[in-house]
Amino acid sequence: MGFCLSISMPRAYNETKNESTNEGFSVMQGVFLDRDSLDCGDLDFSDLDRILPDLRYYPSTAPDQVAARIAEAQVVISNKVVLDDAILSQAPQLQLICIAATGLNNVDLAAAAARGISVCNCRGYGTPAVVQHVFALLLALVTRLADYRQAVHEGHWQRASQFCLLDFPIYELAGKTLGIVGYGELGQGVARIAEAFGMRVLLAQRPGTVQDQEGRIPLPLLLPQVDVLSLHCPLTPETRGLIGAWELALMRRDAILINTARGGLVDEALLATALRQGALGGAGVDVLSLEPPTTDNPLLAPDIPNLIVTPHCAWGSRESRQRLVAQLVENIAGFLRGHPVRRVG
């Protein structure tokens, strides 16, 4: 298992840059506010340095540091640092915000637009990583991988009266029904792999819509049919609390819930209760409503059966993170050429 090593050298990255290499673009001053949110010391930033030779990197940025760090910047790169109206009002030179992620909730898009600041995000960079993580969670649950691993560590196999242990029920994915909420690039990727496993795939109607969608099933009608429910929709006012008491009650008692989208889609306390009461077969979640979570998050209690929680790492393959850096370069290059790409504001 690899570990991310934080490198706390916000200015040192710039010391060896060639100030003359900017592909003919005018040199713009930029800041990357939270490099450590995606870099484990294993990424190549040379293309980003080449297009923004006057780019300062900060491992992380606290709320009270943001205004000073972006005061003179023309380009700001941020993953999770909040850029609200009050902060943007203190950055008179700012022309471009590059979100080093897909989610837009950390940037006040209306305030940026009012000040003529372009905003671009990154998209689709983590699809292969997230799709494989969905099935890592699902396979671990249906094979009871953690339970069997623990049984070996505790010596149960060594003391067994026969050649194998079958203490925990194992299920096959073949022939099971997978319901997908959110059929964008990630949902489609999950569907392709599910079909390779021999699963039947059903698509939920887009949350918040009232008109019928061809090939889609309203969520209340879909939930009783699925053996596995996988969430891939954004967190919006229409989707917050999407899976609550009523929805959990509609699901089969042996169904599995997978959430690699956003923590706020699921009522965490009710999910914990459903698992404890055996009203749900299992759950695998990579996201929580508050990140990093507090110790009192309902899903972090040690007594919840058939639950796997991972720390928002589904997207984090090295390949995924390097693709994200490449998209940052594309977004900045497009802006400098006057043709922004992945513009959201």
Which residues are catalytic, by number?
262, 291, 312
The distance from CA 231 to its chain's CA centroid, rounded to whole angstroms, is 11
Which of helix, strand or coil describes residue 341? coil
As a whole number of angstroms, the distance between CA 36 and CA 7 comes to 8
Cα–Cα distance for residue pair 194/203, rounded to 1 Å: 13
The Cα angle at residue 202 between residues 257 and 190, in degrees rounded to 5:
65
Nearest one of 182, 276, 273 to 229, comparing CA atoms:
182
Distance, CA of 72 to chain centre: 31
Q: Cβ distance 257 to 279 under 8 Å?
A: no
Cα separation, 307 vs 141, in Å, equals 8
CA pair distance 168, 267, nearest whole angstrom: 28
CA distance 262 to 233: 8
State how far Cα 35 lies from the chain centre.
17
Amino acid at 252: R
Residue 198: partners with Cβ closer than 8 Å, 6 or more residues away:
173, 174, 175
